[in-house]
Structures are given as C-alpha cells and as structure tokens.
Chains A and B, each alone.
Chain A
Amino acid sequence: MSDTSSPFAADHALWKLVPLSDYAVPSSPDQHVVRKKWAAFRSLLRPQDEAQTPVRAEADLRALAGVRLENLVPPIDWAQAVSGLDQVLAGDAERPLPGSSVRFLIGQPHCAHVEVLTHWANAHGARVLAPPRPEAVISGDEQWLAELSGPEGPWVLPALERCFLRHAAGLPLVRQILERAASGRLGAGLIGCDSWAWAYLQRIFPVPQLPALTLQAFDGRRLTELFLRLSLSNGAGAVRFRNARTGASVLPDPEALGSGSFDVSRELRQLAAHCRGNPGIAWRYWRQRLRAEPESEEAERSSEQEQSAAEWVVWLADLMEEQVPPAEQADDAVLILHALLLHNGLPDWLLPELLPLPQAQIASLLWRMEGLGIIELADERWRIAPLGYATARRMLRERTYLVDGF
C-alpha cells in the first residue's frame, strides 16, 4: 500500500505553521470501518502460518545500542520551525492583523513550543519572559505582571500554561495577561501555549479574535522526510529500514528525497494517524520501535553486506500494546492525567493542591502509572510520557473530559 498521488518537492515546507482551524489530523489507512472488518475477515481465512510468519521474528532482534540510535535518530532540531514562524510573521508585516499585535503559538505535548519560541527570541533579539513560580500564580504576583510591560521591542512569553493553575486562586493572573494581549496593551509579542492549556483557557476567557498558530500535522509524507533527514544528518551511512513483519521497506532511498517523489509506507501513515500528527511523539515511537540483528548474526550479515551493497538493515517492530490503569483506579487516574495535561506537567507537591484526592493516593497512582509507562518524571515535574499520550488522551476523550483541539 503506497501513496504516490502527488510529487514531493525537495523544498517542501516541513515546518509549516498554520492557523489552528487549518490543522488536519492525519487519517489512518485502517480508519474505514468496512476496510478494518474486511482485513480482520481476510486474516481469519488466510492460513495461520502465512498470516503470522514474520520476515524477522521480533524475539530474534534486539534494541539498537544507544550510540547507534543517536546516530540514526538524533533529537529533532526544533530551531528549524523558526523559519516557518518567520514566514507567517513576514506575512503579518505585509498584511497586519486587525486588533491585537500578539500572536499565539499553540503546541501539542512534546512538540517543544517553548524551544521554538526561545530559538525565535534568540534569533531576533526579543525579550524572553520566564513564567512565574506557582506560588506567584496563586498570589497574583503584581511584580511579575509589571514585567510584561517592560522596555519597547518584541517580547516572547513561551509558556502561558505556567501562568495559571486550575486552582480557585490560580486564574486571575492569566486573565490579566489575556486581557492585556487582546486589548493590544502589551505591544508586539509572541505567546506560546500548550494545546491542552489553550483548550481550557478558551473556556475560562474566550477571546475568539486572538490569532493562534500551530505546527501543521506531520502526516505520513512529512514523517518520512523527517526520519529520512534525521537518519542522514549524522552520516550513518546506507541504512535500509524494513518492517520486521513484512520485510517491506519503510523509508525510501535518500536519493528520492532530492528528486522529490517517493512512496509513503503504510507503517508511517499508521504512525502519523496514531500520533495525530504530533512529530515529537512520532519521533519517540520511531526510536522505540527500531531493532537490530543480534551481535553475532549482525557481524556475519555485515560482512556479507559489505561485500554486496554496503547496506545495513534496521528492522521496525510492531507498535507495542499500550498499558491502561486498572479499572478500579481509572476514575481517579484520569483526574491526575487531566491535571498533568492541562498544566503540561506538574511537580508532585502541587498535585494535592489541585486535586480532590489525598496525597498518599496521588503518590500511589503516580508510581503505578509511571510503571505502566503512561507518565514520567522530568525536571522534577510529572508529565504524560510520549508513549502514554495516546492512552491518556483516549481515556479522557471516552470519559468526555475536555481534550485539546488536535
């Protein structure tokens, strides 16, 4: 199954920023119910060994060594998104928007909107406003608010989600920021906000005319280009990425990138749909699924390969089955997951202030969900783990909690 509908231009805007309403969640090749049912029916009819015998059994493969993984899939350079932002802002300069001169950049979890805006501020010499401490948010710190109206010149507030707390005293500060931004009193600036916090703030202080941008979804085609560029960035040599089950090639030849025309594999279209176009989370899945031959066989095969095509094969394992909290704890677990998503992570001491649960119960649930890989501790803040995000979002959506607009 491949997609060859449109030729891919070499200078395709990988890091394109679009208005929120233009974000297009990638669709899965399996999304059609009838197609899903037909595939299930066919798998019933197919002989067992034909349907399930993989080209390379996952049990025979091993995870990639750290250095090799870093070479093949290095971290995403988010500074590249600055060019997309500049492009939009240049358009603004030609056709100024009515009303506010503040632009919002909305980022999904693990999409590094803070890094993008910090890179932009560094590139343009803009003032970066650090978010207030949680204590200052609750006390409505006037001094921090006064810093917003500092010296002339562009400014950047990269993390609006740190300027409020879902606490009875945690909203006045963010209301004042939004009110000043909407009225134009803050002057020209950029505000970054997490997508979940943005969805919540839209209900608390709905200002429809605030212009908000986001990174366009990474569909299968964009992911293909991203992963191919990443694999080439460290000069890892000729590598063939193949599906361990089917043996099919997952990424095209590097030359195809230059020619601008290549097929998009089914795996990457599925991954794009699973991650809802979130490149940060897709990157983590990609790293987690790559496998290599065991050491002994690898040495043997590499000598064969050196002789033949000097090409090294990396196998792509299936998506791992996602873990969910036990049913009897799910109702309390979703409260924690929702709080973590709305604030883009929280320190553990703050959680009892925001949730109607005892501290001991919160701690127990945090450890439990960490063990299941749904959440993780980073920089002393609990946050949703990239590989647990799909589970957390699905649990919240099914229970009709507020979810982000992506």
Chain B
Amino acid sequence: MNEDTDLARLFNTLDSGALIELTLILLGTIVLITGSQKLLPWIASRMHGRAHYYVLALIPALRLLILIGGVLLIVPILIEPSLQNMVAVLGAVGLAIGFALKDYVSSLIAGVVSTVELDYRPGDWIEVGGVYGEVRRVGMRTVQIVTPDDTLVSIPHLKLWSEPVHNANNGGPSLQCVANFYLHPGHDAGQVCQALRDVTLTSPYLQLDQPVTVVAQERPWGTHYRIRAYPIHPSQQFRFVTDLTVRGKAALERIGAMPAAVPATFSASG
C-alpha cells in the first residue's frame, strides 16, 4: 500500500488539461519531424553542388533537436521533476535498457553520435560491412542506403562502434573514381599515360577543377594503370568509370597497347 503511494508520487496527476497538452506536444513533434523530413529533401532536390549536401545534412540534426525539445516538454508533465523522482525513474529505465533493449538503445545512441560527428549524411556514398551505396535516410536506429543495384539496405547505427565506415564524398560533391587498365608489358608507358590522361580530360563527366592522376604499377603479368579522377556529381560515378573504360580501351587500341593476356588474380587495391 505504501509502495503504491510512493510510486504514485513519482508521477503527476494527469487531468484532462495535462492530457490535452501531452497530445498536442506529441502531435506537434510528429508533425514537425514529418514535415522537416519531407520539406528538406524537397528543398535539397532543387539545389545543386555543396548547398544540396548541406541541406541534406540538416535532416537528422533537426529531427534530433525536435525530439529533444519534445521530451523536455513532456517529462515535466508526466513526472514531478525532483531529484529523488528523476533518480528513481532513470534507475528503472536503465535496468530495462540493460536487460532487454541494449542493442536497440545502443543503435539509438550511435544514431545521435553519427548526427553529431557527421560520419554519414544523406547524399553521402558510404561502405559499411561490405555494403556500398548512397545514404538516403539517417533514421533514429538505422541508416538506409541504396546500393548501385537499387537495393535498399538498412544498417543499424550500432555498426558505428565496431566497424569502419568508408565515406567516399564526406558531405561534398567530390568523389574520387578509379578506372583500371591491365596491359601487356610490351608498350610505351609514357604514351599510354598521355593517352589515358587525354581520355580523362575529354570525359564529359570530369570535374575539371580537381586533379587527374594516372598511376602505373609494374606487375609480374604486365602493367597496371589506374586513372584517378573526380566526376562532376557523385551520382555520375558509374557512368564516369564506364566512359573512361570504354574510351580508354579504344585509345589504347589506337596506340597499339595490348591488354594483359594472363588471367590476373589480385586484389582490387593491387
């Protein structure tokens, strides 16, 4: 009987006025979050370049702010905000999290960390756990990315604690692409480098104000050439690499450079 009274003292009496206030705050929070999640991507889709990415990056941060604001408004309505009450409530919540919702809450906290540290934002091209794609949505618990095969993958923020996150453009429009060429050793390397450089400089997708590099590496089976360059927009990366590859092969054929004949088994980085 006594315990019931103590527990009851934790919470405020919810009269009809408090209930209406709670409902309004909840509705307001939901409307603001939903509205910002629809409005900001719409605004971003009408912008190009850096501004596009800045607006997209605002989405999770704004949602977090709205949520914190909602919680700060709701808690004093539900609980008498004394030290004793707060310790009791937080203790109970902590126990529940520790036993039942550890991973879920860990993902939520990692989501907050990712929002603050900006490990990934909508519009970034990231690789987590071997999955590569464009970030479409940074949710409370997961980050949703769309792979080049148009598959939506939801990755829990929890992965942030244990796995490296590869971010190819880091909130900007510059994303380096690499096109590989594997050639038979009998060729003029200087001529090949110049030809590959011209192939890159004449690509309609090339961002001309970023550096263009041709890297050559001698291998037991021949020579491995890599073009490193930046497309105008990250979404053009696959078309850009395809364009470099198709026109690069034609240019190499024109100067008589033959592809390596031996089936090569090596890592992508080598």
Contacts and interface: CB of A to CB of B under 8 A. Distances in A.
B208 A356 contact: no
A171 B48 contact: no
Given A356-B239, A356-B242, A399 B204 contact: no
Contacts of A203: 201, 208-209
Interface string A196-238: 0000100110000000000000000000000000000000000
- By Cβ-Cβ distance, the 5 closest A-B pairs, closest first, are A168-B251, A203-B208, A398-B48, A168-B199, A166-B202
Contacts of A172: 198
Contacts of A168: 195, 198-199, 202, 247-248, 250-251
A402 interface: yes
A401 B232 contact: yes
A168 B191 CA distance: 13
A24 interface: no
A386 interface: no
A335 interface: yes
22 contacts: A165-B202, A168-B195, A168-B198, A168-B199, A168-B202, A168-B247, A168-B251, A170-B202, A171-B198, A172-B198, A200-B208, A338-B204, A354-B202, A356-B246, A398-B48, A398-B49, A399-B232, A399-B233, A400-B48, A400-B207, A402-B208, A402-B209
A355 B204 contact: yes
A185 interface: no
B204 A339 contact: yes
A145 interface: no
Given A169-B254, A203-B209, A400 B232 contact: yes
A167 interface: yes
Nearest to A165: B202
A400 B202 contact: no
B243 interface: yes
Interface in A350-393: 354-356
B173 interface: yes
A72 B242 CA distance: 53
B202 A167 contact: yes
Nearest to A338: B204
Interface string A155-176: 0000000000111111110000
A400 B204 contact: no
